[in-house]
């Protein structure tokens, strides 16, 4: 395959799209390609994690990007305020689009890979870019006719499908990451694709210690964990959050850690179960390691609601509306990881990627 020059445009909300970008980056370099520029959309509540800059050797360009408005306790998504805020920031996002156009002209990429950033779709709409675009995210499975949404929430379903179409406007292909194989929908260029896990996931030594690992993308949920711990002081919890004020040992059985991907993955490999919001990436990492998961979708986040629904269907764990760790502890003895088929599916990602790139 001839060497090509790639540019990434990445959604910076959460960590999943960024870790997927790292996985693709490593696969492309291994195949002899080049990634010259990575544009990451950020909002005031998130910063580009250190691990991204440490693992991607390319120009990294932060730009303002549409994002969610959280409630005062940083627990749930406020949909209407999110829409209003993003409309009012149109001028800011216009500057972001100009920045993207500047970098496209500067780096002259052969292919743009978009990790669910809406600016990429808007850029194709406004600038009519001739550069081929591949979109990669688990959300593209929502556009597949065989995907089964959870019952109810029809307005949320319509909204997420509209947003997903926006991110992929004029894309040549949409790689839909999925917990399970799903046939390609060639009419709309939707390709069923395995989850993209980082190399560090495959390198972990799997053990089973007696602690539960907790991952909180929104620090407001730490109050719920502390409240539960006070009633259950003998259950060991290790909790990762971006709240620096909680860093360090809370007491002998509750420990708060700053977000650190290497430390988090090592502790995931050695825990007896993961308690988390329902981010696609973290759930897939735990499933690959055979760890049961309690999934608590962020309130108002329909994507996470769908993730938890899908993951439960594949035996990954259980879901709840609250951090009901008591119920999770009751579930653990009956959990069957059933991970072999999932591992085979994940391990096929590199071969499938190169196949898709060869005929764009």
Question: Mean pLDDT throughout 313-337?
Answer: 93
Which pLDDT score is estimated for 42? Answer: 85
**Domains of the chain, each with CATH number or no CATH:** 5-197+349-357 (3.40.50.2000), 200-344 (3.40.50.2000)
Contact by Cβ (8 Å): 222, 257? no
State both tokens at 174: 């949409």
Say which residues have a Cβ less than 8 Å from residue 179's Cβ, sequence separation at least 6: 195, 284, 287, 310, 311, 313, 314, 316, 342
- Among 270, 286, 347, which residue's Cα sits nearest to residue 318? 286
d(Cα 187, Cα 194) in Å, to the nearest integer?
Answer: 20
Quick one: pLDDT band at residue 90, thresholds 50, 70, 90?
Answer: low
Between 28 and 92, residue with greater pLDDT: 28
Q: What is the pLDDT of residues 243-253, one digit of tens each?
A: 777 777 788 89
Quick one: pLDDT band at residue 356, thresholds 50, 70, 90?
Answer: very high
Q: What does the mean pLDDT of the chain come to? A: 89
Which pLDDT score is estimated for 67? Answer: 63
Measured between alpha carbons, how far apart are the two ends of the chain, in Å? Answer: 12
Which pLDDT score is estimated for 46? Answer: 64
Contact by Cβ (8 Å): 64, 98? no
The answer, yes or no, to whether residue 105 has pLDDT greater than 70, is yes
Which pLDDT score is estimated for 71? Answer: 45
Quick one: pLDDT band at residue 241, thresholds 50, 70, 90?
Answer: confident
CA 186 to chain centre: 25
Percentage of residues in the chain with pLDDT exceeding 70?
91
Which pLDDT score is estimated for 301? Answer: 87
Q: What is the pLDDT of residues 334-346, one digit of tens each?
A: 998 778 999 999 9
Strand 69-70 versus strand 190-193 pairing type: unpaired
pTM: 0.88
The greatest distance separating any two alpha carbons of the chain, rounded to the nearest whole angstrom, comes to 61
3-state secondary structure of 116: coil
Q: What is the pLDDT of residues 52-85, one digit of tens each?
A: 888 999 999 999 877 655 444 444 445 555 555 5
Residue with tokens 């780096």: 107
Question: Mean pLDDT throughout 114-135?
Answer: 94
Question: Mean pLDDT throughout 18-23?
Answer: 94
């Amino acid at each position: 395959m001839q060497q090509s020059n790639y540019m990434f445009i990445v959604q910076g909300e959460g960590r999943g799209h960024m870790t997927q970008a790292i996985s693709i980056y490593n696969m492309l370099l291994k195949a002899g390609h080049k990634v010259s520029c990575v544009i990451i959309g950020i909002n005031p509540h998130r910063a580009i994690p250190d691990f991204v800059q440490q693992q991607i050797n390319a120009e990294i360009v932060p730009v303002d990007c549409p994002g969610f408005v959280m409630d005062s306790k940083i627990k749930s998504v406020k949909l209407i305020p999110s829409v209003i805020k993003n409309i009012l920031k149109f001028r800011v996002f216009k500057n972001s689009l100009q920045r993207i156009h500047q970098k496209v002209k500067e780096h002259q990429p052969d292919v743009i890979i978009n990790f669910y950033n809406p600016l990429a779709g808007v850029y194709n709409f406004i600038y009519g870019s001739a550069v081929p675009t591949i979109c990669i995210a688990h959300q593209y499975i929502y556009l597949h006719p065989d995907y089964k949404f959870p019952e109810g929430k029809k307005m949320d379903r319509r909204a997420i499908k509209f947003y997903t179409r926006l991110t992929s406007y004029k894309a040549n292909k949409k790689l839909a990451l999925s917990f399970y194989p799903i046939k390609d929908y060639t009419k709309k260029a939707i390709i069923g694709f395995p989850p993209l896990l980082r190399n560090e996931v495959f390198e972990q030594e799997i053990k089973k210690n007696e602690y539960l690992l907790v991952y909180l993308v929104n620090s407001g949920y730490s109050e719920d964990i502390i409240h539960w711990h006070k009633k259950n002081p003998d259950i060991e919890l290790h909790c990762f959050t971006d709240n620096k004020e909680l860093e360090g040992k809370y007491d002998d059985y509750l420990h708060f850690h700053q977000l650190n991907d290497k430390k988090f993955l090592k502790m995931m490999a050695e825990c007896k179960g993961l308690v988390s919001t329902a981010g696609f990436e973290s759930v897939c990492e735990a499933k690959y390691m055979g760890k049961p998961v309690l999934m608590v979708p962020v309130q108002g986040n329909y994507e996470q609601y769908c993730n938890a629904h899908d993951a439960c269907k594949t035996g990954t764990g259980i879901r709840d509306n609250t951090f009901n760790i008591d119920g999770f502890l009751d579930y653990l003895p009956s959990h069957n990881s059933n991970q072999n088929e999932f591992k085979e599916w994940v391990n096929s990602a590199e071969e499938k990627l190169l196949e898709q790139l060869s005929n764009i």
